[in-house]
Amino acid sequence: MRILFLTHRIPYPPNKGDKIRSYHILNYLIKSHEIYLASLIDQKKDKQFLLFLKEHTKKFIHDTINPSIKKIYCLSSLLTNQPITSCFFYSKSLQRAIDKLIVNNEIDIFFCFSSQMAEYIFRSKYLDRIKEHICIIDMIDVDSCKWAQYAENKVGWRRWIYNYEARQLTNYEQKIIEFFDHVLVVSDQEKDLLIQKAQAANVLSIKNGVDSIFFDPDFRSKLRSRNPRIVFTGVMDYWPNIEGVQWFGEKIFPCIQKVIPSVEFFIVGSQPSSEIRRLGERNGIYVTGYVDDVRDYLSAADVCVAPLRIARGIQNKVLEAMSMAKAVVATPQALEGIQAEPGIEVLSAADEHSFATAVIELIQNKSKAQEMGELARECVQRDYNWEKNLSLLDSLILENTLVHNT
């Protein structure tokens, strides 16, 4: 099959949530299909990977956007009742290239990764032609709910904008459901949310996976320290990560330090915000910025934490720590969508006291931490295998190919 795969960021390298999922979907589809890839580049450093993607696809078209300029331009969407995010990731140049590709190549399947890329389908000059073929979209998360969560934690004009985006995305998600043959999300929880909002029968969940060979507990860290270590991993200019880590660093970590004075907290991730850098000035807290291999820090951790109070979908950071057989303490929000048994394979903590108590217990009780880590690893290997989870795509493509050819 010839598949046009549209992504709002280039699906390589797999170093952050959405790119991890898009990379593995692309890698899976490439094995059996011809892939025509259309992507946006929103970071200059990603240009070094363009040759890699050209070599691994039938054709690769792309355009570069400037996030700062785009943010200003997207204010115009407030006058047209359109989602801001769809405007942000829309490029007329990429649209022309996509339309040209549709004309010159017999595309069998249109696959959009993220709701923002549906705009290239809806605005195509060849929409009627597209309708005759299989159309699949992976929304990943229910973005309208995510923006509503943001609004609850903001005040003033920011709350107004986030509520505006949540409303517009609710309408846009309905439009997507009505047009696409299949709408994919990352978990059953996201599926239930979407069905409640849109009453649709074409929504399916396909879970993420983990490269358990790469994230192997036998990996040996180059870092050395006798002090107990707590580790958080994630891109550190992403607001939910910033908010959660601030909460942990300012409210929870000091409680742990009172009981275990030598404990260290490592915040591992690229592009740390000013708030996160200030946290690094506190005693016992270390902000690494970008690291070449996150496994060095995961392997050296006594406990991994995911203190996110704003979260949607599946947290890859939790799955990667579990894959490395690490004991994880996370909020209920960070565990949503992960099929791990709280108290057995992970620990769930909703407030500052219970979170601090859970971390302290695991640091002091190494045998319990080890047993939990081993069970977490088994959970990942059982339920979060990319090849197994993505195999559902085969049946969707085959089923709809038969329907469209009859």
Encode pLDDT of 13-53 as tens digits.
998 889 999 999 999 999 999 999 999 999 888 999 999 99
How far apart CA 248 and CA 100 sit, in angstroms, is 50
pLDDT band at 400 (very low <50, low <70, confident <90, very high): low
pLDDT of 263 above 70:
yes
How far apart CA 162 and CA 140 sit, in angstroms, is 19
In sequence order, the β-bridge partners of residue 265 are 230, 285
Select from 353, 347, 352 the least CA-distant residue to 334: 347
DSSP per-residue letters across 285-354: EEEEES-S-THHHHHH-SEEEE--SS--S--HHHHHHHHTT--EEE-HHHHTT----BTTTBEE--SHHH
How far apart CA 276 and CA 299 sit, in angstroms, is 23
380's tokens:
């990942």
pLDDT band at 405 (very low <50, low <70, confident <90, very high): low
Mean pLDDT of the chain: 93
pLDDT of residue 404: 53
pLDDT digits (tens, 9 = 90+) for 86-138: 999 999 999 999 999 999 888 999 999 999 999 999 999 999 999 999 999 99
Can you tell me the mean pLDDT for 205-231? Answer: 94
pLDDT of residue 270: 93
pLDDT band at 201 (very low <50, low <70, confident <90, very high): confident
3-state percent helix, strand, coil for the chain, nearest multiple of 5: 50, 15, 35
pLDDT of 380 above 90:
yes
pLDDT of 76 above 80:
no
User: Strand 182-185 vs strand 134-140: parallel, antiparallel, or unpaired?
Assistant: parallel
pLDDT of 402 above 80:
no
B/e letters for 114-140, b = 16+ CB within 10 Å, e = fewer, are bbbbbbbbeebeeeeebeebbbbbbbb
pLDDT of 399 above 80:
no
Q: Name the percent of the chain lying above pLDDT 90.
A: 82
pLDDT of residue 205: 95
Q: Are 245 and 238 in contact (CB under 8 A)?
A: no
Can you tell me the mean pLDDT for 285-311? Answer: 96
Cα-based torsion angle of the residue sequence 277, 278, 279, 280 in order, rounded to the nearest 10 degrees: 60
DSSP per-residue letters across 375-393: HHHHHHHHH--HHHHHTHH
Edge-to-edge strand list for the sheet holding 2-7: 59-64, 34-41, 2-7, 109-113, 134-140, 182-185, 203-205
pLDDT of residue 235: 93
Q: Find the length of the chain.
A: 406
pLDDT of residue 403: 52
Centroid of chain to Cα 393: 19
Q: Are 127 and 97 in contact (CB under 8 A)?
A: no
How far apart CA 105 and CA 247 sit, in angstroms, is 51
The backbone region for 243, taken as left when phi is positive above 0, alpha when psi lies in -120 to 50, beta otherwise, is alpha
Can you tell me the mean pLDDT for 289-318? Answer: 95
Q: Name the percent of the chain lying above pLDDT 70.
A: 98
Select from 42, 33, 40, 39 the least CA-distant residue to 235: 42
pLDDT digits (tens, 9 = 90+) for 305-354: 999 999 888 999 999 999 999 999 999 999 998 999 999 999 999 999 99
How far apart CA 156 and CA 358 sit, in angstroms, is 36
pLDDT of 225 above 90:
no
In sequence order, the β-bridge partners of residue 190 are none
